[in-house]
Structure 1
Amino acid sequence: MACLICGPKLATCGIVISIWGVIMLAMLGIFFRTHSAVLIEDVPLTEADMKEDKNPPQNIFTLYNQVGYNCFIAAGIYVLVGAFSFCQIKLNNRKEYLVH
């Protein structure tokens, strides 16, 4: 049995937002993995990260990579939301053809 949860407009909105989220977060993930200097403000650095470590750049690069992985995970979640929205659009289209 099909589980119709949202209407066609909400499902379409979910697809649009999912596409935007996947593109944006995938690009951010790539830029974090390449250690883009512009994104240094978005890396969760503390003063202890730089003083306690004997090799501070390596610690910063590790934090960059972790944020990049988080972006890829969030992009994956957006893919799931997009797939759910696509299924909802298909169920709404199928419902239109049913005779009541």
Structure 2
Amino acid sequence: MALCPICGPKLSICCSLLSIWGIIMLVIMGGLLKMKSIAFAEDLLEEYTSAPLKDMDEFLKAADEKYENAAVSTWIAAAIYVATLAFSLFQAFLNKKADKL
């Protein structure tokens, strides 16, 4: 059974490059979230600015939970980009193979 490319050669290369960029960006961002970078504090804890928490321990526990959830989410997104990269590279391979025929 012969496999036919779904994407053209330019689209598959473009998607490959965007996937590589997305993987790099999301892995770095996930690492920073795992290290609890202060740069993300404002984005993660927006809901607590209007209704303050009862004590500092509760606030720190909520912040740790938000950081952990955000880090896992970015790594899941990076894994999806890895799958997209694999598909795009496979399409580029099929296009190159079809050009040789």
TM-score relative to the length of structure 1: 0.88
**Structure 1 pair 70–28 and aligned structure 2 pair: CA distance change class (3 A):** same
**Structure 2 match to 1:86:** 89
**Structure 1 match to 2:22:** 21
| Distance apart, 1:13 and its partner CA | 0.3
**Structure 1 match to 2:71:** 68
Instruction: Give the SS at the match of 1:35.
Output: coil
List runs of 5+ in structure 2 lacking aligned partners. none
| Distance apart, 1:44 and its partner CA | 4.9
**Structure 2 match to 1:39:** 40
| Distance apart, 1:42 and its partner CA | 2.4
List runs of 5+ in structure 1 lacking aligned partners. none
**Structure 1 pair 57–15 and aligned structure 2 pair: CA distance change class (3 A):** same
Query: 8 Å contact 1:25–1:71 — kept in the other structure?
Result: yes
Report Cα offsets for 1:37-82 as digits up to 9, x if no partner: 0111221541288526752101111101100100000000000000
Instruction: Give the SS at the match of 2:29.
Output: helix
**Structure 1 pair 17–49 and aligned structure 2 pair: CA distance change class (3 A):** farther
Q: How many residues end up aligned between the 2 structures?
A: 98
1:17 aligned partner, one-letter code: L
* Aligned counterparts of 1:52 and 1:15: Cα–Cα separation in 2: 48
* Aligned counterparts of 2:41 and 2:9: Cα–Cα separation in 1: 40
* Aligned counterparts of 1:64 and 1:58: Cα–Cα separation in 2: 10
* Aligned counterparts of 1:90 and 1:83: Cα–Cα separation in 2: 10
TM-score relative to the length of structure 2: 0.87
Query: 8 Å contact 2:29–2:71 — kept in the other structure?
Result: yes
